[in-house]
Structure 1
Amino acid sequence: MDHEKVNILLVDDQPAKLLAYEVILKELGENLAVATSGREALEYLLKNEVAVILVDVCMPELDGFELAAMIREHPRFQKTAMIFISAIQVSDLDRLRGYEMGAVDYVPVPVVPEVLRAKIKVFAELYRKTRQLERLNAELEDRVHARTAELENSNAKLVESEQRRSMALAAGKMGSWDWDWVNGDWMWDEGQYRIFGVDPRSFEVTSENIKKLLHPDDLERLRKAVSHFERGTHAYETEFRIVRPDGEERWCVGTAAASVDRTGRVVRVSGVTIDITERKRAEDRQNLLAREVDHRAKNALALAQSIVRLTRGATLKEYIQAVEGRISALARVHTILSLSNWQGAEIGRLVDEEISPYSTGEQIELYGPELQLEPATAQTLALAVHELVTNSAKYGALSSHSGRLKIRWEVRPDLLQIFWEERDGPLVQTPISRGFGTRSVIASIESQLGGRADFDWRAEGLICRLSVPLGKDFPAGQINLHAGFNGSGREPLLRSAGAAE
């Protein structure tokens, strides 16, 4: 690189002088080019890079000054070194004119070889060093551009990664934070502000302000986390609650990791907060559901146990039929309750389901307002209706085609009354003792629901009145007094079981 040859252009109209210049400058080891006129010199310059131009001032057609002016007009040669050789005495004005034309030096004739060689060598070396510096600058610029491109690419990837992280944190209801252990400064990301329900433009993240958002019952738990880091723990995880400024309580799980210096002293703690409120609520609902299922299963088993224990039958077949009938009645009301997610059962549908196996033609009519019964009341009332309709099918109005049954109900303050009226069936005689069905109805209504069951054994048909307390807190909104009307237009009608609609 240091011995790279450069081009030196010698311009003179006399071949002898050109030959003399070549001999003098040959020792420099550079590329020597000759031109016998200004035109030849310009042609060479347009095709080659030149370090130094040695030009005679006095030439025909185009003298040295004119040639220098034309060379300087070209952008490539505005800084090219030009040395004038003059065989005549040069005045100061001539020198000034030469410098204005771009000359860097003058050499008088006769030429002193050592002086000429020294001057050419200086400018040739200067040109060489300048070109080396330009190449180095170009390489440096290329490296800078390449490095800048790498940094821009890395920064773009970092921004993209941060965007993905932010999206992942937002999708997972997560937030990240950083706490300078030494000076107490905090830094929250957007997700952290969102979880705590505060505005990043107005909320100042300080230990004191954060403390105000924590649930009072969980402050001690978080103090323990801080003490763990003071004792050398590097990671910690705990669940805690926050209370947003609007009063909403949220459950969170926090994971934190500590950074330490060379002495093992904590200098920074960073962590992630995850909003697990929905998960907590789901767990609470699941636990509640499990307890409710357990409670209902126990109730169902207790009812089934009572049915098995209290059922009587003259034969094994009668006993099996009685048990199956009562279990089926319980199953039917369970189906109704499950369709409402165990919120309750409509009395009209409940009664209709229990009497549907016995409804033929227009024997049975149902009257009364829509009413939503509590699950426990619905189960017990279903068994009572089952006993009444079973007895009617065996011994009462439903045991003959001419028999008729009217079931109506009405709601009074805190009380549901159901009226069971049979007629046109077999002649009814007052029983000497209460049968199992009657005892079962009385036990269901009076013992389990705290109500009352009254029986009137008239010859033309049984009349039974069931009174069931609804409780003082029974919601009035569960009663619809305008469910429909029968043909006479006098009473609310739910439907006529078995009748053509």
Structure 2
Amino acid sequence: MDHEKVNILLVDDQPAKLLAYEVILKDLGENLVIASSGREALEVLLKTEIAVILVDVCMPELDGFELAAMIREHPRFQKTAMIFISAIQVSDIDRLRGYEMGAVDYVPVPVVPEVLRAKIKVFAELYRKTRELERLNHELEDRVRARTAELESSTAKLRESEQRRSMAIAAGKMGSWDWDWISGDWMWDEGQYRIFGVSAESFEVNPANVQALLHPDDVDQLRKAIAEFNKGTRSYETEFRIVRPDGEVRWCVGTAAATVDESGRVVRVSGVTVDITERKRAEERQNLLAREVDHRAKNALALAQSIVRLTRADEVKAYVNAVEGRINALARVHTILSLSSWQGAELSRLIEEELAPYSLGGQIRLAGSEVQLLPATAQTLALALHELFTNSAKYGALSTRSGRLAIDWRVEDEVLTLRWEESGGPLVTTPKSRGFGTRSLLASVESQLGGQAQFDWRAEGLVCRLEVPLTRKTATAALGKFDTATSAELQRASG
């Protein structure tokens, strides 16, 4: 569904970096506004409604901290989301200073495109939803004022108001109430009882009982709201939480309007309560998703950095090909896992992705049942299979048309056994030393997954046997190792 575009302000004194940010963020479909200095950014802000500001910390004349302080001084921009980009190592003191200046997040350089897009998308969506809520609140205020006027004018208008209120109740998310300021009598409609999780038959509406259903942390702000009516305030709006009798916490937004007599004294307060719990939960899910994206991206980057650092080759071209191959293998399994929302991946799918460039003329035979792998296991096996295919294409059965490769697997007692058998290729001799690919395969399968890797260098072709535990307990432990110790394992494998 199309949504209204919001404006994202990109502030940096370097045109190349601004261009890079535009390329990264263009897929979001938002309006990207460019400013090459802090002063230019201030001019844009005064003329344009901005949802998110992406600003470089280090700029001449007016740096990111100073710009943030000036922006926060203006009432219009006190809640505008600002994300700092820093190309230098940011200390805790710098981060604290940035947050005091109004930053909501930091993005280090080099920028990870997926992470930057995810962060910007979250704040853009939050801005959009906030504007939608503001529009809804204005509509609610208008309806409350209209209903109050009808109550004072005639019984006929009261019926009309009741009919409209019944339509709101039917939606299941809204309730209304009236409070006689003079007598202290309360009136709740059906929607109000439903929101608070009580029934009209068993719940008496009075200040003490209502306060008992309010979240303890929100009682004071509602008391202050009531006091404001005594000071001349005629309408009030706030978000608050309630605790239902069954213990469930619900988020609400309340709008109230006062009715006064000829002398200006408050005689009645009417209000509307809207249950916004689902919106709040959606915001929490978005925040969680942003953190999960950040976590996955950091893990993938750490592994890619290890691959680049530890790959060895005698020639630049060979080095580039080796690095590209390993990173592409990681990217392929990442795509498969993303399609399953990181629930897992089928072993056969991993094998098919890796053999695609080599499956010519029926050289490769596969046999095995469907096996679902958890994310950590899938990532490790994908890299192991990539090394086997790469070595076979260079030196083994897949380096000649007469070569044959058979891959079969089975699962017994929660242990996956995969057999790789080559034949018909060049004459095989046992290598005097193991290359990085073989050593990293051994390290990943044995150290990260708690399995075993065995190599039989037969003259007619290599036979490799991999045994990997598939129990969730073992796989979960392996995931922790994969996230925190991948670089160390590969370092040991590189010798």
The verdict on a shared fold, with TM-score over 0.5 as the criterion, is: yes
Query: Could you say which residue in structure 2 is the equivalent of 1:298?
Result: 298
1:283 aligned partner, one-letter code: E
Displacement after TM superposition at 1:462 (Å): 1.7
Q: Do the aligned partners of residues 267 and 394 (structure 1) sit closer, same or farther apart at CA in structure 2, a change above 3 Å counting?
A: same
CA contact (8 A) 2:449 2:474 kept: no
* Cα distance in 2 for residues equivalent to 1:335 and 1:389: 19
Query: Could you say which residue in structure 2 is the equivalent of 1:466?
Result: 466
Q: Structure 1: 5+ residue runs without aligned partners?
A: 1-150, 476-501
Residues 1:375 and 2:372 are matched in the alignment: no
1:459 aligned partner, one-letter code: A
CA contact (8 A) 1:229 1:266 kept: no
* Cα distance in 1 for residues equivalent to 2:358 and 2:341: 28
* Cα distance in 1 for residues equivalent to 2:267 and 2:217: 22
Q: Among 210, 214, 219, which residue is 2:216 paired with?
A: 219
Find the residue that maps to 2:366 and give its secondary structure. Answer: strand
Query: Could you say which residue in structure 1 is the equivalent of 2:411?
Result: 411
Residues 1:359 and 2:356 are matched in the alignment: no
CA contact (8 A) 1:414 1:474 kept: no
Find the residue that maps to 1:428 and give its secondary structure. Answer: coil
Q: Quick check: 297-306 or 451-460, which moved more?
A: 451-460
* Cα distance in 2 for residues equivalent to 1:237 and 1:160: 24
Residues 1:385 and 2:376 are matched in the alignment: no
Q: Quick check: 454-463 or 295-304, which moved more?
A: 454-463
Q: Do the aligned partners of residues 323 and 413 (structure 1) sit closer, same or farther apart at CA in structure 2, a change above 3 Å counting?
A: same
* Cα distance in 2 for residues equivalent to 1:228 and 1:155: 30
Displacement after TM superposition at 1:366 (Å): 2.4
Displacement after TM superposition at 1:424 (Å): 3.0
Q: Do the aligned partners of residues 265 and 471 (structure 1) sit closer, same or farther apart at CA in structure 2, a change above 3 Å counting?
A: farther
Q: Do the aligned partners of residues 172 and 198 (structure 1) sit closer, same or farther apart at CA in structure 2, a change above 3 Å counting?
A: closer
* Cα distance in 2 for residues equivalent to 1:164 and 1:268: 20
CA contact (8 A) 2:218 2:241 kept: no
* Cα distance in 1 for residues equivalent to 2:248 and 2:474: 30
Displacement after TM superposition at 1:201 (Å): 4.4
Q: Quick check: 441-450 or 319-328, which moved more?
A: 441-450
Q: Among 223, 226, 230, which residue is 1:229 paired with?
A: 226
Find the residue that maps to 1:358 and give its secondary structure. Answer: coil
* Cα distance in 2 for residues equivalent to 1:266 and 1:303: 67
CA contact (8 A) 1:368 1:410 kept: yes
Q: Do the aligned partners of residues 257 and 294 (structure 1) sit closer, same or farther apart at CA in structure 2, a change above 3 Å counting?
A: same
Displacement after TM superposition at 1:360 (Å): 2.0
Q: Do the aligned partners of residues 376 and 240 (structure 1) sit closer, same or farther apart at CA in structure 2, a change above 3 Å counting?
A: farther
* Cα distance in 2 for residues equivalent to 1:398 and 1:378: 24
Q: Do the aligned partners of residues 408 and 244 (structure 1) sit closer, same or farther apart at CA in structure 2, a change above 3 Å counting?
A: farther
Instruction: Using structure 1 for the length normalisation, give the TM-score.
Output: 0.57
2:444 aligned partner, one-letter code: S
Query: Could you say which residue in structure 2 is the equivalent of 1:285?
Result: 285
After superposition, where does 1:77-92 map in structure 2 within 5 Å? none
Query: Could you say which residue in structure 2 is the equivalent of 1:127?
Result: none
Find the residue that maps to 1:357 and give its secondary structure. Answer: coil
* Cα distance in 2 for residues equivalent to 1:306 and 1:287: 29
Query: Could you say which residue in structure 2 is the equivalent of 1:402?
Result: 402
Query: Could you say which residue in structure 2 is the equivalent of 1:420?
Result: 420
Query: Could you say which residue in structure 2 is the equivalent of 1:442?
Result: 442
Find the residue that maps to 2:361 and give its secondary structure. Answer: coil
Displacement after TM superposition at 1:388 (Å): 0.7
Q: Do the aligned partners of residues 230 and 157 (structure 1) sit closer, same or farther apart at CA in structure 2, a change above 3 Å counting?
A: closer
Residues 1:164 and 2:164 are matched in the alignment: yes
2:429 aligned partner, one-letter code: Q
Displacement after TM superposition at 1:351 (Å): 1.4
Find the residue that maps to 1:361 and give its secondary structure. Answer: coil
* Cα distance in 2 for residues equivalent to 1:181 and 1:275: 25
Query: Could you say which residue in structure 2 is the equivalent of 1:323?
Result: 323
Query: Could you say which residue in structure 2 is the equivalent of 1:348?
Result: 348
Query: Could you say which residue in structure 2 is the equivalent of 1:481?
Result: none
* Cα distance in 1 for residues equivalent to 2:327 and 2:310: 13
| Total equivalences in the alignment | 321
1:221 aligned partner, one-letter code: D
Query: Could you say which residue in structure 1 is the equivalent of 2:37?
Result: none
Q: Do the aligned partners of residues 237 and 310 (structure 1) sit closer, same or farther apart at CA in structure 2, a change above 3 Å counting?
A: same
Q: Do the aligned partners of residues 228 and 211 (structure 1) sit closer, same or farther apart at CA in structure 2, a change above 3 Å counting?
A: closer
Displacement after TM superposition at 1:170 (Å): 4.7
CA contact (8 A) 2:169 2:190 kept: no
Displacement after TM superposition at 1:196 (Å): 2.3
- Per-residue CA shift, 1:146-165, capped at 9, x if unaligned? xxxxx9x9655553344234
* Cα distance in 2 for residues equivalent to 1:449 and 1:292: 23
CA contact (8 A) 1:414 1:472 kept: no
- Per-residue CA shift, 1:374-400, capped at 9, x if unaligned? 223322221111111111111112222
Instruction: Using structure 2 for the length normalisation, give the TM-score.
Output: 0.57
Find the residue that maps to 2:456 and give its secondary structure. Answer: strand
Query: Could you say which residue in structure 2 is the equivalent of 1:276?
Result: 276
* Cα distance in 1 for residues equivalent to 2:298 and 2:410: 31
* Cα distance in 2 for residues equivalent to 1:431 and 1:474: 32
CA contact (8 A) 2:168 2:175 kept: no
- Per-residue CA shift, 1:291-336, capped at 9, x if unaligned? 1111111122122212222222332222222222222222221221
* Cα distance in 2 for residues equivalent to 1:262 and 1:198: 37
Q: Do the aligned partners of residues 220 and 292 (structure 1) sit closer, same or farther apart at CA in structure 2, a change above 3 Å counting?
A: closer
Q: Do the aligned partners of residues 155 and 207 (structure 1) sit closer, same or farther apart at CA in structure 2, a change above 3 Å counting?
A: closer
* Cα distance in 2 for residues equivalent to 1:461 and 1:184: 92
Query: Could you say which residue in structure 1 is the equivalent of 2:132?
Result: none
Displacement after TM superposition at 1:471 (Å): 3.9
Displacement after TM superposition at 1:337 (Å): 1.8
CA contact (8 A) 1:421 1:463 kept: yes
Find the residue that maps to 2:356 and give its secondary structure. Answer: helix
Displacement after TM superposition at 1:370 (Å): 1.9
Q: Do the aligned partners of residues 229 and 266 (structure 1) sit closer, same or farther apart at CA in structure 2, a change above 3 Å counting?
A: farther
After superposition, where does 1:187-266 map in structure 2 within 5 Å? 187-214=187-214, 218-230=215-227, 232=230, 234=233, 236-245=236-245, 248-257=248-257
1:291 aligned partner, one-letter code: R
Q: Do the aligned partners of residues 323 and 220 (structure 1) sit closer, same or farther apart at CA in structure 2, a change above 3 Å counting?
A: closer
Find the residue that maps to 2:223 and give its secondary structure. Answer: helix
Find the residue that maps to 2:357 and give its secondary structure. Answer: helix
* Cα distance in 2 for residues equivalent to 1:407 and 1:342: 26
* Residue identity (%): 72
Q: Do the aligned partners of residues 264 and 449 (structure 1) sit closer, same or farther apart at CA in structure 2, a change above 3 Å counting?
A: farther
Q: Structure 2: 5+ residue runs without aligned partners?
A: 1-150, 476-495
